A and B are shown apart, each in its own frame.
Chain A
Amino acid sequence: MRAESNADRLVSQVLAGEVWPALADRHVYRLGPDGQPFVLPGMGGVTLDVHCGDPATGYASDHLEPGASVRHRDPAANMALQFLTCVGNEVRIASGPAACAVGHVIGQHAYVLVDFPAAAMAGITTGDQVTVVAVGQGLVLTEHPAITVKNCSPRLLAAMPGGTGADGRLDVHVAAVVPAEAVGAGSGMVSEYANTDLMGAYAGLGEDLSLGLEGLRIGDIVALEDSDHRYGRGYRAGYLTIGVISTGQCLLFGHGPGPSSLMSGPADAFRLVTDPGANLSSWLHDGQEASR
Chain B
Amino acid sequence: MSADAEGLALRPVAVNLLGLVEQPEFGSTPYRVSADGSSYVPVGDGGIVLGVRLGESVFARDADHAAPGACLVHPDEGARHALTVYSCIGNQVVIRTGQAAGARGIVVGKRGEAGRVIVSLAQEDLARLRPADQVAVRAYGQGWRPAGFPAEVTVLNTAPAAFAALPVAVTDGGRVLAGVRMIAASKLAGNGIGRPAAGWDLDLQLSAPGEQSGDGSGGTGSLLLGDLLAVSDLDARWNMGYRRGWLTVGLVVHGASPLPGHGPGITPILSGPAGVLQAEPDPTGHVGLTEAAAQALIEGEPELE
Binding site for B on A (CB under 8 A): 31, 33, 35, 179-189, 197, 199-200, 207-209, 211, 226, 228-238, 252-255
Contacts and interface: CB of A to CB of B under 8 A. Distances in A.
A57 B201 CA distance: 29
Given A180-B187, A181-B233, A209-B243, A236 B194 contact: no
Contact of A254 (B33, B213, B240): B240
B192 to A, nearest CB: 8
Contacts of A252: 194, 239
B241 A199 contact: yes
**Which bucket holds chain B's interface residue count?**
35 or more
Contacts of A185: 193-195
B29 to A, nearest CB: 13
Interface of B: 33-37, 185-195, 203, 205, 213-216, 233, 235, 237-246, 259-262
A255 B35 contact: no
Contact of A253 (B33, B35, B235): B235
6 contacts: A31-B239, A188-B260, A232-B261, A234-B260, A235-B215, A253-B240
Contact of B191 (A33, A187, A209, A253): A187
A226 B262 CA distance: 15
B238 A253 contact: yes
A181 B244 CA distance: 10
A231 B245 contact: no
Majority secondary structure of chain A interface residues (helix, strand, loop or mixed): loop
Contact of A188 (B191, B215, B216, B237): B191
B246 A208 contact: yes
B203 A181 contact: no
A266 to B, nearest CB: 13
Most-contacted residue by chain B among A228, A230, A234, A254 (CB, 10 A):
A254
Contact of B241 (A180, A234, A238, A254): A254
Most-contacted residue by chain A among B36, B186, B187 (CB, 10 A):
B187
Contact of A234 (B190, B194, B233, B245): B190
Most-contacted residue by chain A among B216, B239, B244, B261 (CB, 10 A):
B261
B190 A231 contact: no
Contacts of B186: 181
Contact of B33 (A31, A187, A231, A237): A231
A166 B281 CA distance: 48
Given A233-B261, A235-B261, A184 B214 contact: no
A197 B194 CA distance: 9
Contacts of B193: 183-185, 187, 254
A238 B216 contact: yes
Given A181-B242, A182-B242, A253-B238, A232 B194 contact: no
Contacts of B237: 35
B35 A187 contact: no
Contacts of B233: 181
A180 B184 CA distance: 14
A223 B158 CA distance: 40
Nearest to A196: B261
Nearest to B187: A180
A69 B84 CA distance: 31
Nearest to B246: A208
B187 A234 contact: no
A81 to B, nearest CB: 18
B262 to A, nearest CB: 5
A230 B261 CA distance: 12
B60 to A, nearest CB: 22
A187 B261 contact: yes
Contact of A255 (B194, B245, B261): B194
A235 B215 CA distance: 8
Given A185-B193, A188-B261, A234 B239 contact: no
Contacts of A183: 187, 193
Contacts of B195: 185, 254
A255 B242 CA distance: 10
Most-contacted residue by chain B among A197, A199, A209, A236 (CB, 10 A):
A236
Contacts of B36: 231
A81 B28 CA distance: 19
B263 to A, nearest CB: 9
